[in-house]
Amino acid sequence: MISKITKNTRKSVLISFEVPEAEKERFRFEAGQYLTLETKINEKLVRRSYSICSGIEEGLQVGIKEVPEGTFSTFANRSLHEDDVMMVAPPEGRFQYLSCSKAQTLVGFAAGSGITPVMSIIKTALSDHPENSFYLVYGNKTYNLSIKTLQFVGKMLSGNMGTDNLSGPIGIAQMAGNTAQAGFLPFMYLMALLSISLAVLNLLPIPVLDGGQLTLLGIEAIRGKPLPEKAENMIYTGGAAIVVMLMIFAVFNDISRFF
């Protein structure tokens, strides 16, 4: 039976289950395992597996994010209620945290929804020993932010977006200061956005950037021989000039905002 539903975000819920006393041994779990849930949706039985996100002392909980056209995830986010009953299989999975009597320093890597079982492991590991420490490297929305960066560049080149949206070091410093005042998380989000944007821009086919270098290597591979030294020098000089002009224009934009 569902004992509690917590709306974590607009598109995700945390579902807590009440396990009958007689079934508690069967449903004892290790951090990192998953549950298979089954319920009837539109007169059809639908079964999905979700990672347990709770520590072993917190009871049985799963997090479910609504995904486009996701039958079960949409139903869980919009139609499930507390005290509803559904079929739940005993915990399964070999991706587990192993308890240790000695203090440990642990490192985890996760991306997107893969954070769910890692949350269970983090909670369990930190409660397992008072001197345990856990370092998490987590990435999320990198693909979406990369696409938005390319769309932004495309709109400026096509004239659908004004170049006054382009900021240089002064504008970036101002944004960093504003987000730092808003809190640690907004500041870290801005840093991640800048890092991803720079990585994407670095792959553009402009000489002196890595993307330009890859383009030239591709041309040489097609030709079967290196470019003439004079032509290569001219290409790199032109690329450097483009980058310098963009930098000057961005700084000019920054200064013009103050006057």
How far is Cα 69 from Cα 78, in angstroms, rounded to an integer? 13
**3-state secondary structure at position 135:** strand
Domain boundaries, the chain: 2-139, 142-256
Instruction: Let me know: does 48 contact 113? Beta carbons within 8 Å.
Output: no
Distance CA 23, CA 19 (A): 6
How many residues are recorded in the chain? 259
DSSP assignment of 169-191 equals: HHHHHHHHHHHHHH-HHHHHHHH
What top-level class would CATH report for the domain 2-139?
mainly beta
Predicted confidence at residue 259, as pLDDT, reads 64
- The predicted model scores a pTM of 0.54
Q: Residue 255: its pLDDT value, please?
A: 84
The half-sphere exposure of 196 on its side-chain side, counting CA atoms within 13 A, is 18
User: Taking the CB of residue 56, how many other CB atoms lie within 10 A of it?
Assistant: 19
Task: List, for residues 37-63, the tens digit of each pLDDT value.
Answer: 999 998 899 999 999 999 888 889 999
Parallel, antiparallel, or unpaired: how do β-strands 105-111 and 133-139 relate? parallel
pLDDT of residue 33: 92
- pLDDT means over runs of 10, the chain (259 residues): 87 90 91 92 91 89 90 92 91 87 84 80 89 79 72 76 74 82 72 80 85 88 87 89 88 77
